[in-house]
Amino acid sequence: MKKKFDLDTILDTLLSVLPSGQKPVALHEPLFQGNEWNYVKESLDSGWVSSAGKYVDRFEKYLSEYTGAKHVIAVVNGTAALYTCLLLAGVTRDDEVFVPALTFVATANAVSYCGAVPHFADCEERTLGLDPFKLAAYLEEISELRPDGCFNKKSGRRIRAVIPMHTFGQPVDIDPLLEVCRRFRLVLVEDAAESLGSFYKGYHTGSRSEFSALSFNGNKIITTGGGGAILTNNASLAASAKHLTTQAKLPHPWSFHHDRVGYNYRMPDINAALGCAQLEQLPDFLEKKRSLALRYQKAFAEIEGVKIFREADFARSNYWLNVLLLDEKYSSNRDTLLELTNGLGIKTRPAWTLIPKLPMYQSCPQMDLSVAESLERRLINLPSSAFL
């Protein structure tokens, strides 16, 4: 028989999973226990600490081998990676791009950098990510296909792309989304920032769409300090991505000639050196994080009205951040739980404020967001560092 919903019971259960005597407990911290010092020192000793050093190429090679993506371009952060993907996908001023309402603000910001308009889509509780079936029904209602693309009948703007985001490392249901994009002639650009080490039907997230973006920020499953990467299986697009992220400079031994507006987005070698050492430890990080997730799942299974989010049957998640979901009838307790846990030095947090609620995005188009709104009310992220 399950224990009744009670805040003290939830706190005791959380404390039973976490190491005793360790305070504060961060939400997610990096773990440096491999070759980080050696590789970073080698980069420093070489003098090639910018993007011309050898570790950038090595990092890209390791990522390609691990993810199965044929081409990888390492860049300064995940937002720069996503913005570059959108530029190469042909997103231009006044286009509309579907973005999940439940995501980090960078997903929508990358659309805005293009001068395009985020169009907010609902999520599904099965994955925490964009709902492909609800999106298909919505597109059937509001869009029309013309010879030059898919257009919003209400706004008159072209709908160019869809950006699913693998929320907290949980893979989105990609196959039906690919079908939606084929049907409505849209480009799928995956925001895989949080999902290195996550797999969908045996394929690494981001490896099946035309473009995807990874992040290696300090709080991600591996870190380069600041960094990101573009994944693609298209050699021509990969060459364009590398050209665009290196100031669009044409190759020449000494002459500086640029053929378009480019960006200084390449990852520095010193960051890539850190990333190479971290990638060597990724299998161990994933094993530790799965073990922590299973401990959370087992502990909270005995309490009424709460659950720890589990990967979908088609997915293998990296469990970047563990998720405690309250039943709707207990959602009013979320903020009290956040106050109590943080007061004890346990750094829990809520989901992001839904992007269409932010002042700069309140006027953007949106579909019914009832599931995302419910998740926002009920969701708490729990400490998820690999060493826990």
Q: What percent of the chain has pLDDT over 90?
A: 95
Tell me the DSSP string of 254-282: S---BSS---B-BPPHHHHHHHHHHHHTH
Q: What CATH code is carried by the domain that includes residue 18?
A: 3.90.1150.10
Residue 2 inside a domain? The answer is no
Mean pLDDT over 281-301 rounds to: 98
Choose among 3, 1, 6, 71: nearest CA to 303.
3
Residue 388 inside a domain? The answer is no
Q: Domain check: are 22 and 43 in the same one?
A: no
Residue 129 inside a domain? The answer is yes
Q: Domain check: are 93 and 157 in the same one?
A: yes
Q: Domain check: are 248 and 318 in the same one?
A: no
In the block, residue with structure tokens 């009744």: 4
Q: What CATH code is carried by the domain that includes residue 195?
A: 3.40.640.10
Of 251, 281, 311, the residue that ends a domain is: 281
Give the Cα separation of 122 and 99 in Å (integer).
9
DSSP β-ladder status, 143-146 and 149-152: antiparallel
Instruction: Reply yes or no on whether the pLDDT at 10 is more than 90.
Output: yes
Q: Domain check: are 213 and 309 in the same one?
A: no
Q: What is the pLDDT of residue 22?
A: 79
Instruction: Reply yes or no on whether the pLDDT at 251 is more than 90.
Output: no
Tell me the residue length of the chain: 388
In the chain, at which residue ranges do the beta strands (DSSP E only) sit? 71-75, 96-100, 117-121, 143-146, 149-152, 158-162, 187-191, 199-200, 203-204, 211-215, 228-232, 306-308, 315-316, 322-326, 349-350, 379-382
Residue 387 inside a domain? The answer is no
Of 256, 281, 306, the residue that ends a domain is: 281
Confidence of residue 114 (pLDDT cuts 50, 70, 90): very high
Choose among 319, 323, 324: nearest CA to 306.
324
Q: Domain check: are 199 and 76 in the same one?
A: yes
Q: How buried is residue 115: exposed, middle or buried, by Cβ count under 10 Å (0-12/13-18/19+)?
A: exposed
Residue 1 inside a domain? The answer is no
Q: Domain check: are 22 and 48 in the same one?
A: no
Mean pLDDT of the chain: 96
Residue 267 belongs to what domain range?
A: 36-281
Q: Domain check: are 18 and 88 in the same one?
A: no
Q: Domain check: are 340 and 244 in the same one?
A: no
294 Cβ contact list (under 8 Å, min separation 6): none
Of 281, 309, 335, the residue that ends a domain is: 281
In this structure, are residues 306 and 3 in contact, taking their beta carbons and an 8 Å threshold?
A: no
DSSP β-ladder status, 306-308 and 203-204: unpaired
pLDDT in tens, 179-197: 999 999 999 999 999 999 9
Residue 149 inside a domain? The answer is yes
Q: Domain check: are 87 and 22 in the same one?
A: no
Q: Domain check: are 18 and 47 in the same one?
A: no
Instruction: Reply yes or no on whether the pLDDT at 50 is more than 90.
Output: no
Residue 309 inside a domain? The answer is yes
Instruction: Reply yes or no on whether the pLDDT at 315 is more than 90.
Output: yes
In this structure, are residues 384 and 322 in contact, taking their beta carbons and an 8 Å threshold?
A: yes
Confidence of residue 23 (pLDDT cuts 50, 70, 90): confident
Q: Domain check: are 49 and 26 in the same one?
A: no
CB neighbour burial string for 286-302, b if at least 16 within 10 angstroms, e if fewer = bebbbebbebbbebbee
The count of domains in the chain is 2
Instruction: Reply yes or no on whether the pLDDT at 214 is more than 90.
Output: yes
Q: Domain check: are 226 and 273 in the same one?
A: yes
Choose among 303, 223, 263, 233: nearest CA to 59.
223
Residue 86 inside a domain? The answer is yes
